[in-house]
């Protein structure tokens, strides 16, 4: 089973190969190797190779891609397949990130195909779900995230679902400085966990569910302490090695209290 809490960095469209190398060296110097946590860094595809070199020797730091296409190869200009991401050092992949859904129009159905392609290639999907502000204000949070969850995981076998991760990222909290309260996160995580149990049937129900959306050094510990929060998915605050090391340290402190 994956060590938790899981601390995942989503660099989005930032940090090229040289910067990725320098970042990882600076982060690793501040953050001693941990047994009780899992650190995942998701650089842009062009920096995966450099990041793989930079993390070698650190078994606790893993790499993820930010997106994949669902076909394994072919004439799909500009896309990265799951096997290509795997070959470049990724072990994980974000699927259905809110920016994929809302900026690039990715559909629920496409997230399902991407999760299947990821699992087929031996990449662990981190399925991202989250409601918009309008959906939240209309009281539709649970309906939306459960619809996204089912669509994303539908094509996986029970064993593949059990080996996946879920990230709850309310769209209104991403990059806005507005964070869900630990209670809000716990409430939605509880609904997601019950639904994962439904998808899984009698199999392992303990899929890690991460929270994301304006996580920073000041709120990481409280979010990690919220019942049902198994880790964090961090954007802006993961771009600075000092703040990222501090968030990872909050995760290590949490692991020590479990
Ligand atoms: P911020 O932490 O910048 O709000 O981004 C969250 C996110 O989208 C991580 O995937």
For ligand 1, the distance from its centroid to the CA atom of residue 172, given in whole angstroms, is 10
Q: How far is the CA of 190 from the centre of ligand 1 (A)?
A: 21
Nearest ligand 1 atom to the CA of 214 is 4
Q: Identify the H or E element spanning 8.
A: strand 6-10
- What is the best residue among 11, 12, 129 to mutate for testing ligand 1's pocket, by most ligand atoms within 8 Å of CB? 12
Catalytic residue among 62, 97, 106, 189: 97
State how far the Cα of 230 lies from the Cα of 224, in Å rounded to an integer: 7
pLDDT of residue 95: 98
Residue 233 CA to residue 213 CA, distance in Å, equals: 8
* DSSP one-letter string for 80-118: -BHHHHHHTT-SEEEES-HHHHHTS---HHHHHHHHHHH
With CA atoms as reference, report the closest residue to 247 among 57, 5, 1, 58: 5
Residue 203 CA neighbour count, 13 Å, CB half: 14
**The predicted structure's pLDDT at residue 161:** 92
Contact residues for 63 (Cβ-Cβ < 8 A; gap 6+): 40, 41, 42, 43, 48, 51, 52, 55, 89, 90, 91, 92
Active site residue 97: yes
Burial bucket for residue 177 (CB in 10 Å: 0-12, 13-18, 19+)? exposed
Do 238 and 15 touch, CB atoms closer than 8 A?
no
Domains of the chain listed by start with CATH number: 6-256 (3.20.20.70)
What does 32-91 look like in DSSP terms, one character per residue? ---SS-EEEEE--GGGHHHHHHHHTT-TTEEEEES--BSSSSSS-TT--BHHHHHHTT-S
Structure tokens at 161: 């679902």
Q: Is 257 annotated in the active site?
A: no
Q: Report which ligand 1 atom has the smallest distance to the Cα of 237.
A: 2
State which of 100, 235, 247 you would mutate to test the pocket of ligand 1, scoring each by most atoms of that ligand within 8 A of its C-beta.
Answer: 235
pLDDT for residue 34 = 85
Given the residues 106, 110, 169, 189, the one annotated as active site: 169
pLDDT at 242: 98
Ligand 1: list residues with CB < 6 Å: 10, 97, 169, 174-175, 212-215, 233-237
The pLDDT of residue 201 is: 66
- What is the whole-number distance in angstroms between the Cα of residue 61 and the centre of ligand 1? 19
Per-residue pLDDT tens digits of the chain, which is 258 residues long? 799 999 999 999 999 999 999 999 999 999 999 889 999 999 999 999 999 999 998 999 999 999 999 999 999 999 999 999 999 999 999 999 999 999 999 999 999 999 999 999 999 999 999 999 999 999 999 999 999 999 999 999 989 999 999 999 999 998 888 888 999 999 999 999 988 888 776 455 689 999 999 999 999 999 999 999 999 999 999 999 999 999 999 999 999 877
Helix (H) or strand (E) holding 125: strand 124-129
Which residues are registered as beta bridge partners of 81? 69
Residue of 233, 239, 244 with the most ligand 1 atoms within 8 Å of its CB, for mutation: 233
């Amino acid at each position: 089973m994956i060590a938790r809490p899981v601390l995942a960095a989503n660099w989005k469209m930032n940090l090229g190969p040289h910067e990725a190398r320098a970042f990882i060296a600076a982060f690793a110097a501040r953050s001693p190797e941990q047994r009780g946590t899992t650190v995942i860094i998701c650089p842009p595809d062009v920096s995966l190779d450099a990041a793989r070199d930079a993390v070698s020797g650190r078994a606790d730091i893993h790499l993820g891609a930010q997106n994949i296409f669902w076909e394994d190869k072919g004439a799909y200009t500009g896309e990265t397949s799951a096997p290509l991401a795997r070959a470049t050092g990724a072990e994980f992949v974000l699927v259905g990130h809110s920016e994929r859904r809302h900026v690039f129009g990715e559909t629920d159905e496409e997230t399902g195909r991407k999760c299947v392609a990821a699992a087929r290639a031996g990449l662990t999907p981190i399925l991202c779900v989250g409601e918009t502000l309008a959906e939240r204000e209309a009281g539709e949070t649970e309906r939306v995230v459960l619809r996204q969850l089912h669509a994303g995981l539908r094509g996986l076998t029970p064993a593949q679902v059990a080996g996946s991760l879920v990230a709850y990222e309310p769209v209104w909290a991403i990059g806005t400085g507005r964070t869900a309260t630990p209670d809000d996160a716990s409430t939605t995580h509880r609904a997601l966990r019950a639904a994962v149990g439904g998808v899984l049937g009698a199999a392992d129900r303990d899929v890690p569910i991460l929270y994301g959306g304006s996580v920073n050094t000041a709120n990481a510990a409280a979010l990690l302490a919220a019942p049902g929060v198994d880790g964090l998915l961090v954007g802006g605050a993961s771009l600075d090695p000092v703040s990222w090391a501090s968030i990872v340290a909050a995760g290590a402190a949490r692991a020590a209290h479990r």
